[in-house]
Amino acid sequence: MGYTVERADLRGWAKEVGNVASDMGSAHDYAQSNIADGDFGRILELITDPYEQMIPRFHEVLREDHTRLQKTSKALVAAERTYKDMEDAARNDFTKLDKGDPGRVEDDGESKSFSHQDGSAELTAPSSAVGPPPEVSFGFALDKVCELVSYVGGPDIREEVAKWITGDTEKAARQADAWNKLAACTDVSKENLAKGQQVIDGTWSGDGATAARKQIQKWLEALGDQASGMRKMSEHLLDSTKQALQMAQVVVDIVKTVVDLASAALSNAAIPGYGQWKLIKSAKEAVQMIWKAIKVIKVFWDALKMIIDSIKMIANQITLESLPPAPKAA
């Protein structure tokens, strides 16, 4: 089987693959800066461990994207040099299959246009689409409620309720936005490779070109899977954050009602007979409402557990093993 190659175009293609590698290197740096940990406070504590286990592995994949794409670029450079002098032994996986076959090598000195879209331009500062959790700060009133609820054997409202609605939901939302922007950068990188492959197909053919095309096809699949996983991670993280805020607001509203109920009962406690009866009745009602708040929190936890399963699935999707191996180049 013969081959054809326009060396200037092949040099341009090697440069374009190198540009894509640089964009994925920028993505790695961006992820390290903006997706560094999963410490979002007690409100999202359940997802912290699985999320933080995934983060360094994800960083490693992005770093390897950059490294292996750079090696792919260098292999293409080596291919161009090999075509320059076909008497040399094949120097990499992309040209060794053409050794000994008759072919045509040209070099008009001008590379075809590989229109590179800057993927790193997508990596702008992440923003938060949500605000902080509502606060529970009733001071003396909450102290009295805790005493009253404890008096009838109810749960500790601070330990069982209040502490679970504190955290940094804005940080979680910023990370969700960062995941989305990484997905956009990865989409652009995939598009650059796809368009570049179409260009080089016009002036490079043969077994070497076929081997290189197969390598790029593997990258298109890998980058597509990564972008999909990043976008899903963004959706899951933002969804869990919004659910956390909804849960927190419901719980705060319940606590406010409990405080109002208990405060009214305490103000009438000095009334003989009726005051004591009203106090005990209100305390029991407060306990029921606190258990309702605890139930709301547990329902939210169940929802988070489903999101945790999704995080683990994404972590199993974006792995080093899913990446194309780097070509061997002299």
**Tens-place pLDDT, residues 246-287:** 998 888 888 777 777 766 666 665 555 555 556 566 667 767
Give the pLDDT score at 88: 45
Q: Which one, of 289, 279, 307, lies nearest residue 251 by Cα?
A: 289
Give the pLDDT score at 168: 92
Q: Per the structure, how many domains does the chain have?
A: 1
Extract long-range pairs of 64-68: CB within 8 Å, 24+ residues apart: 64/320, 64/323, 65/21, 65/24, 65/27, 65/28, 65/222, 65/223, 65/226, 65/323, 66/21, 66/22, 66/24, 66/25, 66/27, 66/28, 67/21, 67/326, 68/323, 68/324, 68/325, 68/326
Give residue for tokens 């197909």: 201
Domain span holding position 55: 3-105+130-322
Rounded to whole angstroms, the Cα distance separating 96 from 79 reads: 9
pLDDT (tens digit per residue) in 64-75: 999 999 999 999
Give the pLDDT score at 92: 46
pLDDT (tens digit per residue) in 122-166: 999 999 989 888 876 655 556 666 666 666 666 666 666 767 788
By percentage, how much of the chain surpasses pLDDT 70? 75
In a domain, 330, yes or no: no
Highest mean pLDDT among 21-35, 88-102, 129-143, 278-292: 21-35
In a domain, 44, yes or no: yes
In a domain, 95, yes or no: yes
Please state the pTM of the whole predicted model.
Answer: 0.83
Structure tokens at 257: 């009602």
In a domain, 327, yes or no: no
Give the pLDDT score at 97: 46
In a domain, 311, yes or no: yes
- Angle subtended by helix axes 274-317 and 45-84, to nearest 10: 20
Report whether pLDDT(233) > 70.
Answer: yes
Starting from the edge strand earliest in sequence, which strands make up the sheet with 204-205, in order?
Answer: 103-106, 3-6, 204-205
| Region of poorest pLDDT, from 117-121, 180-184, 206-210 | 206-210
Q: How far is CA 130 from CA 170, 173, 230, 243, 302, in A?
A: 6, 7, 20, 11, 22
Amino acid at 18: G
By percentage, how much of the chain surpasses pLDDT 90? 51
In a domain, 328, yes or no: no
The Cβ of residue 263 has, within 10 Å, a number of other Cβ atoms equal to 16
In a domain, 119, yes or no: no
Report whether pLDDT(306) > 50.
Answer: yes
Residue 87: pLDDT band with limits 50, 70, 90: very low
Higher pLDDT, 279 or 243: 243
In a domain, 116, yes or no: no
